[in-house]
Amino acid sequence: MELPDVLILERYRLAIDRQKYYTSVARDAFATYAKFVAGIAAVIAGLLAARESLGLDATIMPDLIAMFGYVLAFLAAAAIVQIVVALVRWRRARAIEAELNPETPALGVFWWASEGMYIAIVVASVIGGWRVLGGLVRRA
């Protein structure tokens, strides 16, 4: 193999590795967000169940629950930004791959829809979580 061929092959390998890396970044951002949401839900359930034994005043509970809602919204925004950045960077690596390998299939609508589902699930969880927390604030 000549040097130009080796360089093209190495660039192709790098593009594939970058795609794998950005896929894992998006997946990890989503998984981390899901873990934080589960943790927040567990903390809220624990606080509501043990409010009297912890000696928490009922007047502070709405503010405490609202604080968790703001934390949820912040975590969602951070996860969405990280997912979008990873997808944009993944798309750039995919363009390099397509440039080097003309047989690379084009990305269809299904790909965009499946990747957009990460973001849709995060947004839906914030909306659902905000409504649940709002109900808890009204009852607390």
Helical residues (DSSP H) of 50-108, grouped into ranges: 51-54, 61-100
**Which tops the pLDDT comparison, 1 or 101?**
101
- On whether the CB atoms of residues 66 and 133 are closer than 8 A, the answer is yes
pTM score: 0.78
Cβ distance 12 to 40 under 8 Å? no
Q: What is the domain count for the chain? A: 1
SS3 content of the chain, % helix, strand, coil (to 5): 85, 0, 15
Nearest to 36 by CA among 74, 5, 89: 74
Tell whether the model's pLDDT for residue 21 goes beyond 90: yes
Q: Residue 46 burial (CB < 10 Å; 0-12/13-18/19+)? A: exposed
pLDDT at 140: 58
**Which one-letter amino acid corresponds to residue 12?**
Y
| pLDDT > 70: percent of the chain | 98
Q: Is residue 28's pLDDT more than 70?
A: yes
Residue 78, CB-side half-sphere exposure with 13 Å CA sphere: 14
Q: 40-71 pLDDT, tens per residue?
A: 889 888 888 888 888 888 788 888 888 888 88
Query: Domain residues for 94?
Result: 3-139
